[in-house]
Structure 1
Amino acid sequence: MAATSFLALAITSVAHAQSAPAQSGSPEQPGTALEAPSSEIIVTAQKRSERVNDVGMSIQALSNVALSNAGIAAPQDLVKIVPGFNSNPTPYGSNVFTLRGIGYQETTLSAAPTVTVYSDEVPIPFSPETAGVALDLQRVEVLKGPQGTLYGQNSTGGLINFIAARPTDNFSAGGEVSYGRFDAVDINGFVSGPLSSTLKGRLAFSASQGGAWQKSYTTNAKLGERDLLNGRVLLDWDPASNFHASLNVSAWRDHGETPAPQFFGIQVLTPGAELLMPPGLLAYPVAPKNNRAADWDAGVDYHRRNSLLFSSLKLKYDLDEDVSLTSMTSYQRFKRNQPVEGDGTAFQDYSTIQAGDVKTWYQELRVDGSFGGKGNWLIGGNYEHDTVFDQFRILNRDGSFSHVLLSLSPLTILNLPGNYEQTDQKIKTVAAFANVEYPLTDTLKLQGAARYTQTTRDFFGQAYDGVNGNTAFFFTLLQAQLRAAYGIFTPSGQMPGLNDCLSLGAAPTFLMGCRKDRLKQDNVSWRVGLNWKVDANTLIYANVSQGYKAGSFPTIIASTQAEMDPVTQERVRAYEVGLKSSLFDRTLDITAAGFYYDYRNKQTIGRYADIAFGTLLKLLNVPRSRVAGFEVAASWRPVAGLTINPVLSYTDTKVRGQFLNFDYVGAPADFGGRAFPLVPKLQTSVDAQYRWALAENLNAFVGGNLTTQSGTYTSFVPNANERVPAYQLVDLRVGVEAGNWRFSIWGRNVTDKWYWTSATRINDALVRQTGMPRTFGATIGFHY
C-alpha cells in the first residue's frame, strides 16, 4: 500500500513536469520549495568553507528547505533522509543516535554518545540536551565515521552539526504556524537585521503545544502532550575588516509528557514470586495493535521539567591574509526532572523519576592558514569540563522484584516499593589537534589529521533506600545471609538508614558502601586521506581513520558495587572509499561510499549475574567486532520543477570471536557471530517534490517521502519478544506559494503503519516503543 501510494505520486509528478514551465524564485528564500543543487551547498566540515562535493569525506549537507520539506523538527527525524542514520527511544526516556551501526544503547545522563551533536561547531555533550537544537537553521551537516581529529568531542560513529541561520545585512522576518491532529500547534519565527553599522542580530523562537497522541486502552485517558518553548539570540559584530565576533545565547524548556511504552506480555523476573504479585498485573490485557494504544500508572503527572541554557562566543582575528586565530567559548547548563513509565500497565511494576543537572565549560583555540595559497593547515587545542549529577528514583511496588517472602509461619512479606540510584561525575577532557591538506598535483590532494586526547572521569555512585526503610532492612538481612554462606557469622555492624549506601562489596565480607573511582585514559585519533579531482564535477577519495569514544561509569541498579564498574574507551579504525559527482549537465548529483570498520572494545549494555537478584543490567565492552557496508545518495532534477532524492544504505555488523554474556531472560549465551542490536541492515528513503506555476507569482507543489527499514532485534540474540520488524512509512505534502506566503497540507505516516523501534523486557513486563500514528495538518508561513 505504501509503495503503491508513493509510485502514484511519482508518476503524477513526472506527468506534470513534462508540460510545466520553468520555475522561478530565489533558492535562498526561506519558506519556498526551491534550493540550489546539493553539490553546490557550502559546508564547514573541515572548519573552513568549501563546496560539499570538494570535501573528501562522507558528508551529507541538508539545507533549511530540505529539512522543512521532510518535516525535520529534531535530530531523531533525520532518519527520513540521512542514509545509515538511526534513532531509537529507550525505555528510560532518551534517544540513542546511531550512524553506520555505531551506537551506544546506554541511558546514563553522563554517557558520551557515539554520535555527537554540535551547534555551530560547539559540542552538546550528552544526547538528552539536544531537544531544541533544530531551531531556525541554515543547514545541517552529517559527518560519518570516526570524528576525533577536528571536532572537540571524540566520537566513533560520527557527528551532526546544526548550523543556525545567520543575522542578515537587511531587515528580514518570517514565521510559520501549523495545526495538526490531536490539537497539535507549532509556531516559529525570526526577526533579523542590522542594529548598527557593525552589529547585526537575529532573534528566533518556536513553541510546540498540544498533541497528546497516546490513548489508554483501559481508561481512554490521553498522554504525550507537547509543551516545548525554544528561543535564540544571535549577534554578529564586525568592528574591523580583520575581526569578527559571534555570540549565541539560546535556551529551551520542555514541559511535555513522556510517552508510555506498549505492553504486550508478562515475563516474571523473579521465579516463584507470582503468588505475591497483584493478580491484575499477571492478567493484564495486551495492548491493541496500533501505535496509539498504551497504558500507564494512574494519578502520575508525566510532564517533564527539563531545560537547557546554551551560550557560545566565537572570535576570529585575521593575523594576515593567510593566517587566522579563532577562539570558541561555551557554557551550558542542563536540568532534568522527568517521570518515565516503564512497564506500560496501570500497575507500578517499574517506572522511574529521573533528576539531573549538567554544567559544561568548553574552550577551543586554533590557528589556521595556507601554504602560500597552496594547501592549508590548522593547529589547535580544546578543554572541556563537565559536572554531571544523575539520579534515578525507581518505583516498582507491584513487581516481583519488590516482594520478599521472609517467613511462612507467620506469613511475613516485605515489600520493597523502590529506591534511589545516584551518581556524581566530574569529567575533564584536554586535547591538541592538527590538520594538513596539501596538493600533490593539480588533481591529487593529500590530507592528514591527528588529535591527542586525555579524559579523566571522577566518579561517586550510590544506591540508597530513600523511601521507607524496607530496602535498607532487606539489605541488612541479605548481607548477613551472604556472610554466613562464607562462614562469617559475626555481625558486620552495618545498619544502614534511609540515605546510607546499600551496594554490597566483594565476598566474603560484603560490606555495604558507596563507589568512588577514577577512570583516566588517553588516545591518539588520526585520519589520512587522498582526494582525486577527476574533473570539475567529480571527486574520488580514500580515507583511513581511527577514532575513540571515552569510557564511562553507569547510573544503574547497583545492588553490588561491581555493577558500577566502568567501561573502557572504545576504538574504531575505519577504511572508506567514495565518489562524488555531478552528471548530465549537473541535473544529477550522486555520492557513494563503501566502508569497513575494525571495532575494538565496543561499549554496550549487557547483563550481570547478581549474587542476590539474578541477572541485572551492566555496562560491558565487546572485545572485537566489525562493521561493513555501503551508501548511495542522489539528487535528481530530470525536468524543471521536479526533484527526486533517493538514498540507500546497507550496514552489516558482527561480533568477532567469543563474547560470553546473558540473554534477556538470564540464560548464558555466546554472542560471537551475532549482529549488533537495533542496527537494520537496509535503510532506504526517497523524497520527491514537483513545483509548477499556476499563475504569475503563484506556484503549487506536491511532494512526499517514503522511508523503509529492515528488521532487527533489541539484543544480540534474536528472539520473538525483542524483534523489531521491518517497516515502511509514507509522508505526503501539497501546497501553494504566493509571493512571500506559503500554505501547505501535510500527512505523516499516512498509511497509519503500526511499528515500533525497540522491544524488550522491563522488570516483569514485555514492552515496545511504538512510533507515531498517522498525523496530518496544515502550515501557513511567510517571509519578509
Structure 2
Amino acid sequence: MVKRSHRNILAFTTGLSLITAMTPGVFAAATPEQRKEFVLEEILVTAQKRTQNINDVGIAITAFDGKTLKELRFTQPSDIASQTPNFSVANLATNIPNFTIRGVGVNDYAINQGTSVGSYADQVYIASPAMMLFQMFDTERVEVLKGPQGTLYGRNTTGGAVLFNSKMPTEEFEASLDTEYGNYGRYVLEGAVSGPISDTLLARVAFNVTKSDGYQENLVTGNTHGGIDRQSWRVLLKWLPSADIDFLLNAHGGVDNSSLNSVNVPGVGGNTASGGTIDTANGVPYRDNDSYGVSLIANWDMGQVMLTSVSGFEKLDRFEYGDTDGLEGDGLIDQILISDIEQFTQELRLASNGSGPTNWVAGLYYGRDKIIDSTDYPVTGAGFPPAAFGLPSSYATLDVLGNRYTQISTSKAIFGQIEWDFSDQWKLTAGLRYSAEDKEFNDVTTPWIAEPGPGESGPIDSGLMFPAADYSADYSAVSGKIALDYNINDDAMVYASISKGFKSGGFQGTLVFSPANIIPFDEETVISYEAGSKVTLLEGRLQVNSALFFYDYQNLQAQGTLAGAAGGVTALFALQNIGDAEVKGFEIDVQALPVEGLNLALGVGYLDSKITDPFIAEVQKGGRPALSPKWNINGRARYEFDLNNDMYMFVQGDFNWQDNLFLDIYETPALQEDDYLLINAAIGIASEDGLWAVSLWGKNLSNTEYRVSAFTGGVAGTVYGYGAPKTYGISASFNF
C-alpha cells in the first residue's frame, strides 16, 4: 500500500484552492482553437432540464465533455469517480458498482435496491445497480450533480445524480474509429457513423468491442480471471417532421461474456493472484449477460412552452457464476446469480421557452420495474447441518441454499420548479415534488438441497425453508428546493440553497431463513444546506469554484447484521435503517490555462461524516459511514505544443489521492483501507485538423495495491476485492 505520506501535497493544494475561492467545476480538454484563443472552453449542461452554461447554474456540478472522457480513458460509469471530488465507488460481492457522493450511498450488494445516487442514460432513469455495468462509448458529456435531487429527476435521490449523454446525430456526415492495444491482452475497437438520411431524418450508429485476458492469476489452477469480453451498440434516429416537432429514437444493447475475478483471501496472493476457483469445467468464474433497451424522446415547441415526452424501456438478462470465498473447489460458498430485470419509464413535462425573467418546468413521472431474482449458494464446504435450520434431511450437510423473490416497484411523481430573475443580479429558484412508490415483494422463499456425501447414500433431498410469501409496502414524500443566486458581475456568482431528497424504503434482497427476517425498511431523507460560488478570472483562463455543505441525514440505509437470523450457524446481512447521521464538508475545483497550451485541473474534497444516532448495536455513535474518506484530491495536467503546421504533441498526467476509509459500516479494523495514490499518464501526437491522434498511455503507473471492496463475518470469512494493477498500451483514433 502507498503510505500516508501526502500531507504536504494536501495542505498545499487545499490552501491554494481556498485562497482562490473555487467552486465545483468542470474538466474540459483544450482544442486547437483554444490554444489559439487562449481561453477555457464553455461547458453546457442540462442539470435543470434546459441547456445552460455550467457557471450560470447554482448547483454543485462536475462535468466531463466527450474529448476529456476519451483522453482520460473513462470506459465505465465508475471511472468518473477518479476525477470527481467527494465521489467514491465500491464494487460489491455481486460485482455491481455502488456510487457514494458526499458520504451518501447504499453499501448493499442486492440488485433490487435503488441507489442513493440516481443514474440516467440519455434522460432515462436506471432502476437497478446491476444495470450500471454498461460501457461508456461515443459519449458527448457526463454530468455529476451533487446533493439531493428532490425536484426534477426521476426517482427522488438523496446523494445526487449522474447524467450520461450520448453523441447525437449530425446534419453533416462524420465518422470516427478508435482502437487500442494494451497489456493483459487488452483490445478495444470503437466506431461511429453519423449524418443525414434525408432532409428530415438524421442517424447515428455507434459500437464498442472490448476484450482482455484479465490480470488475476489463480494459484490453484493457473487460469486467468477477470478477462473482459463485451460488445455494445447504439442506433439513434432523429426525425424532424416540422420546424416545431422532433423525435429521437434510441435503440441500444450489449452482450457481456466476461470472466470474473475471484475474491482474495488475506495472506494468500496479492491483487493479481487468488487461491480461489469454482466447481465448473474451466474453473473460471464468469458472466453471461444480455441487455437491450429503447427510448423515444419527443419535443413539441408550442411557442411560449415546450412539451417533452421521454419514454424508456430497458431489459437485462443476467447470469453470473461467482467465486465469493477465494477457496479451491467447492470451498465454503460460491454463488450462481440469475436475474431478469425489466423497467419502463415515462416522463411528461412542460417548460417555458427560456425568454424573460421567469423560467419554469412542470411535469409528471411514472416508472415501473420488475426484478425476478434467483440466487443459489453452493455451500457444501461450509458444513452446515440441515438440522440446525430445522430441515428434514438424513444427510450431514447442506449442499445448496437459495434466495428467490420477485419485486415490482411502481413510482409516480408530480414536480415543478420556477426560476425568477427578480433583478439584474438576483435569482430565486423554488421547486417542489410529490413522490409515491409502491413495492410488491412476492414469491419470497429460500430453497435448499442436500445430497449424499462421503459414506452416505440415497436420493437428493430438497425443499423450501418456508412457504413462498408475498409482502408489500407504500412510501410517499414531499421534497423540493429553494435557492438564491447572486451574480456579482458577469464573471462571478454565489449561491445558497436548501434542498430535501427522499429515497424510498423496501425489502432486503439478500438471503433469509425465516419470514420473520423479511422486514421492510423505511425511507431515508437528506436535508441539505449548501452555499457555493463560481468565479471566472484572468480573462477566461481560470475557473475557480467551491461549495460548502451540511447534511441532516435521517434513517440512513445501509447493510447491517440480522441478529440470530441463521439459527446461530452464521450471520446474515440485509439493508436496513442503521441510524441518523450528519455530513459536513466542502469541495474545491479549479481549471486553468496558465500558459498557452497548458491545461491544469485540480479538485479537493473534504468530508466530516458521522453517525449521530445509531439504531443497531453494531454501529457506534460518532462512527463513519462506509466509503466516506475525510480527504480526497484529484488533478490533471495536459500540455500541447505545435510540432509544425499540421501536427501537435501532447503530454498528459492525472492523479487521484484518497484518504483512508472504511469499506463497511461497522468500522471493522481489517476493513479500513489506507490512503492511496493512483497516477496515470499519456504521451502522443495528433493532427491540427483533428483527423487523427496516436498515444501511449499507462494507468496506475506505481502499481499501487488498493481494495475496492471487502467483506467479513459471513460464511466466506474475510475476503477482499482489489482494483486493477498497472496497465499500459497504445491507442489511435481517426475522424472522417
In the TM superposition, residue 716 of structure 1 has moved relative to its aligned partner by 3.1
Structure 1's 376 and 370: CA in aligned 2 closer, same or farther, altered over 3 A? farther
2:362 match: 379
Residues 405-451 of structure 1 deviation map (CA, whole Å, 9 limit, x = unaligned)? 99xxxxx8611111210110111111100010001210000001111
Q: Secondary structure at the match of 2:68?
A: helix
In the alignment, which of 165, 187, 190 is matched to residue 189 of structure 2?
Answer: 187
Distance 1:459 1:656 in 2: 31
In the TM superposition, residue 624 of structure 1 has moved relative to its aligned partner by 1.4
One-letter amino acid matched to 1:100: R
Distance 2:625 2:174 in 1: 48
One-letter amino acid matched to 1:743: V
Is 2:419 the counterpart of 1:437? yes
Distance 1:579 1:195 in 2: 45
2:111 match: 109
In the TM superposition, residue 289 of structure 1 has moved relative to its aligned partner by 3.7
In the alignment, which of 119, 122, 126 is matched to residue 121 of structure 2?
Answer: 119
In the TM superposition, residue 515 of structure 1 has moved relative to its aligned partner by 3.0
In the TM superposition, residue 392 of structure 1 has moved relative to its aligned partner by 1.1
Preserved CA contact (<8 Å) 1:422 1:462: yes
Preserved CA contact (<8 Å) 1:391 1:555: no
2:721 match: 769
In the alignment, which of 255, 271, 277 is matched to residue 296 of structure 1?
Answer: 277
Distance 1:24 1:416 in 2: 63
Is 2:579 the counterpart of 1:577? no
Preserved CA contact (<8 Å) 1:680 1:710: yes
Distance 1:110 1:716 in 2: 20
Distance 1:450 1:35 in 2: 42
Structure 1's 527 and 632: CA in aligned 2 closer, same or farther, altered over 3 A? same
In the TM superposition, residue 721 of structure 1 has moved relative to its aligned partner by 2.0
One-letter amino acid matched to 1:647: G
Distance 1:100 1:441 in 2: 33
1:271 match: none
Structure 1's 36 and 557: CA in aligned 2 closer, same or farther, altered over 3 A? farther
Is 2:223 the counterpart of 1:221? yes
Q: Secondary structure at the match of 2:371?
A: strand
2:596 match: 640
One-letter amino acid matched to 1:624: D
Is 2:666 the counterpart of 1:687? no
Distance 1:587 1:521 in 2: 48
Structure 1's 405 and 447: CA in aligned 2 closer, same or farther, altered over 3 A? closer
In the TM superposition, residue 228 of structure 1 has moved relative to its aligned partner by 0.6
Distance 2:708 2:342 in 1: 31
Distance 1:731 1:401 in 2: 47
Larger Rg: 1
In the alignment, which of 606, 615, 624 is matched to residue 659 of structure 1?
Answer: 615
1:760 match: 711
In the TM superposition, residue 743 of structure 1 has moved relative to its aligned partner by 0.3
The 5 Å alignment of 1:9-24 reads: none
In the alignment, which of 517, 521, 524 is matched to residue 563 of structure 1?
Answer: 517
In the alignment, which of 351, 356, 360 is matched to residue 339 of structure 2?
Answer: 356
The 5 Å alignment of 1:691-706 reads: 691-706=640-655
In the alignment, which of 657, 667, 691 is matched to residue 708 of structure 1?
Answer: 657
One-letter amino acid matched to 2:430: G
Residues 444-498 of structure 1 deviation map (CA, whole Å, 9 limit, x = unaligned)? 0000111101100011143333534789xxxxxxxxxxxxxxxxxxxxxxxx973
Is 2:735 the counterpart of 1:783? yes
1:736 match: 685
Preserved CA contact (<8 Å) 1:606 1:661: no
Structure 1's 574 and 39: CA in aligned 2 closer, same or farther, altered over 3 A? farther
Structure 1's 720 and 470: CA in aligned 2 closer, same or farther, altered over 3 A? farther
One-letter amino acid matched to 1:384: G
One-letter amino acid matched to 1:356: S
Preserved CA contact (<8 Å) 2:605 2:633: yes
Preserved CA contact (<8 Å) 1:96 1:105: yes
2:298 match: 315
Structure 1's 195 and 35: CA in aligned 2 closer, same or farther, altered over 3 A? farther
Is 2:495 the counterpart of 1:541? yes
Q: Secondary structure at the match of 1:750?
A: coil
Distance 1:780 1:587 in 2: 30
Is 2:314 the counterpart of 1:332? yes
Residues 364-393 of structure 1 deviation map (CA, whole Å, 9 limit, x = unaligned)? 111111586222111110111111111211
In the alignment, which of 196, 199, 221 is matched to residue 197 of structure 1?
Answer: 199
Q: Secondary structure at the match of 1:581?
A: strand
Residues 284-340 of structure 1 deviation map (CA, whole Å, 9 limit, x = unaligned)? xx32344444532253452211122121101110112x2111111111111111111
Q: Secondary structure at the match of 2:506?
A: coil
One-letter amino acid matched to 2:717: A
1:269 match: none
Distance 2:354 2:246 in 1: 23
1:232 match: 234
Structure 1's 608 and 732: CA in aligned 2 closer, same or farther, altered over 3 A? same
The 5 Å alignment of 1:238-637 reads: 238-264=240-266, 286-293=267-274, 295-297=276-278, 299=280, 300-320=283-303, 322-347=304-329, 348-369=331-352, 373-401=356-384, 414-468=396-450, 498-499=462-463, 501-502=464-465, 512-610=466-564, 612-613=567-568, 614-637=570-593
In the TM superposition, residue 765 of structure 1 has moved relative to its aligned partner by 2.7
Preserved CA contact (<8 Å) 2:338 2:375: yes
2:51 match: 49
Preserved CA contact (<8 Å) 1:179 1:185: yes
Distance 1:435 1:349 in 2: 53
Distance 2:160 2:554 in 1: 16
Distance 1:721 1:551 in 2: 30
One-letter amino acid matched to 1:498: S
The 5 Å alignment of 1:139-218 reads: 139-218=141-220
Report how many residues are paired. Answer: 695
2:23 match: none
Distance 1:24 1:775 in 2: 27
Residues 111-147 of structure 1 deviation map (CA, whole Å, 9 limit, x = unaligned)? 1001111012211111111222522111101101111
Distance 1:258 1:202 in 2: 32
In the TM superposition, residue 776 of structure 1 has moved relative to its aligned partner by 0.4
Unpaired segments ≥5 residues, structure 1? 8-22, 28-32, 265-285, 407-411, 472-495, 503-511, 663-669
Q: Secondary structure at the match of 1:314?
A: strand
In the TM superposition, residue 261 of structure 1 has moved relative to its aligned partner by 1.2
How big is the alpha-carbon RMSD for the aligned residues of Structure 1 and Structure 2? 2.4
Distance 2:360 2:443 in 1: 44
Structure 1's 355 and 38: CA in aligned 2 closer, same or farther, altered over 3 A? farther
Residues 165-198 of structure 1 deviation map (CA, whole Å, 9 limit, x = unaligned)? 1111111000111001111101101000011011
Distance 1:24 1:349 in 2: 55
One-letter amino acid matched to 2:608: D
Preserved CA contact (<8 Å) 1:724 1:758: no
Residues 729-778 of structure 1 deviation map (CA, whole Å, 9 limit, x = unaligned)? 11010000134110000000011111112322241431111110110000
Q: Normalised by the size of structure 2, how large is the TM-score?
A: 0.91
Distance 1:36 1:626 in 2: 43
Q: Normalised by the size of structure 1, how large is the TM-score?
A: 0.85
Distance 2:40 2:403 in 1: 48
Structure 1's 385 and 263: CA in aligned 2 closer, same or farther, altered over 3 A? same
Q: Secondary structure at the match of 2:222?
A: coil
Distance 1:658 1:161 in 2: 33
1:490 match: none
Is 2:87 the counterpart of 1:85? yes
Preserved CA contact (<8 Å) 1:249 1:310: yes
Unpaired segments ≥5 residues, structure 2? 10-29, 454-459
Preserved CA contact (<8 Å) 1:570 1:602: yes
